[in-house]
């Protein structure tokens, strides 16, 4: 029941504010926290995770991420399906 989608590798997930969508200038990798002009304080990794999650969930992607390829069913082993909950014969 889960799907997998891949975000474009150049999607600015760490530099895009997860609150207002503003993209900041490039940052050095040692910059771990930053403040957006809208006033939001961000941990770089947490912010990236929020943006990637939003991009993956968006039907009409307003964050600008390119999702490719189209969503496909995840293999059973990756979807962590609990076999004891799957009806027999499936």
Q: If DSSP codes are grouped into helix, strand and coil, which group holds residue 51?
A: helix
Please give the pLDDT value at position 60. 47
Measuring CA to CA, how many Å separate 31 from each of 15, 48, 60, 71?
Answer: 11, 13, 31, 33
Q: What is the pLDDT of residues 4-61, one digit of tens each?
A: 777 788 888 899 998 888 998 888 989 999 999 989 999 999 999 998 888 877 654 5
* Domain residue extents for the chain: 3-78
Amino acid 66: pLDDT = 54
pTM, rounded to two decimals: 0.59
């Amino acid at each position: 029941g889960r799907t997998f989608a891949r975000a474009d590798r150049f999607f600015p997930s760490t530099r895009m504010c997860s609150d207002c969508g503003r993209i900041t200038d490039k940052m050095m990798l040692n910059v771990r926290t930053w403040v957006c002009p809208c006033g939001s304080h961000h941990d770089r990794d947490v912010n990236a995770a929020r943006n990637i999650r939003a991009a993956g969930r968006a039907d009409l992607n307003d964050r600008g991420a390119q999702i490719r390829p189209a969503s496909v069913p995840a293999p059973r082993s990756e979807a962590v399906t609990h076999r004891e909950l799957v009806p027999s014969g499936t």
